[in-house]
A and B are shown apart, each in its own frame.
Chain A
Amino acid sequence: MEFIVFVIAAAVSVAAAIAMVLQRHAMYSALFLVLVFFCLAVFYVLLGAYFLAVVQVAVYAGAIMVLMLFVLMLLNVARPESTDRRLASLRPFAVLAGIILIVELVAAVVSSSAAPSATAPAASGATTLAATPTVAVRATATPATYEPAGAVPVGHTQLLAAVLFTRYLFPFEVTSILLLGAILGASVLARKRPQLT
């Protein structure tokens, strides 16, 4: 069942991503990107990251893309992108670089998954509830390891928060300062400048 959902969502996400890149109108690209975000939320649910799936829809599709659509409509760039381009002769090289990159990445993944030392002990049984070997160096400091069935009585969000606010408290606080800086920067950039006569 998970396999079928994965294949469908993967096909839809790749098709929507390609359509997003090839569209002439930026508005259609934005809508296809929203479709990709929803497919990614489906993947997060398949991988057991329920909180992240909801945050993906709420933050990416619900805030970031809305902001982009607002700017798209504000700037009124509805006219289709003209096809003439000063560096059009370099376009095949970009496609070639993309093909080489995808071949490299797929080869790297396939070769590492085929190596016996790299096969994950948990990849073959997500349903096993035994004590899973944690691989990280600082594993003993983690308050909770991630077991899908073990999270049911406690709640996935609570386990995630237990890690976020203990081990990753400092990056959390730094992120709040980052967001404050982003607010200030956006306010400074958006104010009207006095026209130079």
Chain B
Amino acid sequence: MPDIASLLAPFQSPVPTSWYLILSAVLFVIGALGVLLRKNALTIFMSVELMLNAVNLSFVAFARQFRQFDGQIFVFFVMAVAAAEVAIGLAIIVDIFRSRNSVDVDDVSWLKG
């Protein structure tokens, strides 16, 4: 039936790249607010991971738009670097917890100790 087809036409086209970029920006800002507003070091860490993932989303969106694999390769490397960063960061957090018995970033505001 032509009426249904014309109604469904806007939904048949792929989602424009700008929508993915806006979603990536929203997730990035939510992650940035999480870094600014929270004081548990692990929650701040998770917000940083959210920011990295938001950037990964825009990389893949551009890779689809420009029909190249370079964006996906970059996401590959971002994931590898994020994994390395998480391992080291968590080791640091565990070390800090051992000496101060707290993961609040407010408690590590003094350099001594």
A residues with a Cβ closer than 8 A to B are 1-4, 6, 10, 13-14, 17-18, 20-21, 23, 26, 29-30, 33, 36-37, 40, 43-44, 46-49, 51-52, 55-56, 59-60, 63-64, 67-68, 71-72, 74-75, 77, 81, 85-86, 91, 94-95, 97-98, 101-102, 105-106, 109-110, 112-113, 120, 122-127, 132, 134-136, 139, 142, 144-147, 159-160, 163-164, 167-168, 171, 175, 178-179, 181-183, 185-186, 189-190
Judge whether A186 and B88 touch: CB under 8 Å. Answer: yes
Our pick among B19, B29, B31, B73 for the contact of A6 (Cβ within 8 Å) is B19
Instruction: Bits for B17-43, please: 1 = Cβ < 8 Å to A, else 0.
Output: 111111101111111111011111011
Partner of A123, one of B34, B65, B75, B84: B65
B81 to nearest A CB, angstroms? 7
Check if B23 sits within 8 Å of A21, measured CB to CB: no
Contact residues of A: prevailing secondary structure = helix
A-B contact count (CB 8 A): 240
Interface size class of B (residues with CB under 8 A): 35 or more
Q: Does B91 touch A at the CB level, under 8 Å?
A: yes
> CB-CB < 8 A to A142: which residues of B?
68-70
User: Which chain B residues have a beta carbon within 8 Å of chain A's beta carbons?
Assistant: 10-11, 13-23, 25-34, 36-40, 42-43, 45-47, 49-50, 53, 56-57, 60-61, 63-70, 72-73, 75-77, 79-88, 90-95, 97, 103-104, 106
Q: Which of A40, A113, A190 has the most CB of B within 10 A?
A: A40
A contact residues around B21 at 8 Å (CB): 109
Name the A residues within 8 Å of B25 (CB-CB): 102, 105-106, 109
- Beta-carbon contact of B68 and A178 below 8 Å: no
B76–A182 CB distance below 8 A: no
Closest 10 CB pairs of A and B: A182-B84, A105-B25, A113-B18, A189-B91, A21-B34, A94-B36, A126-B14, A163-B69, A102-B29, A17-B30
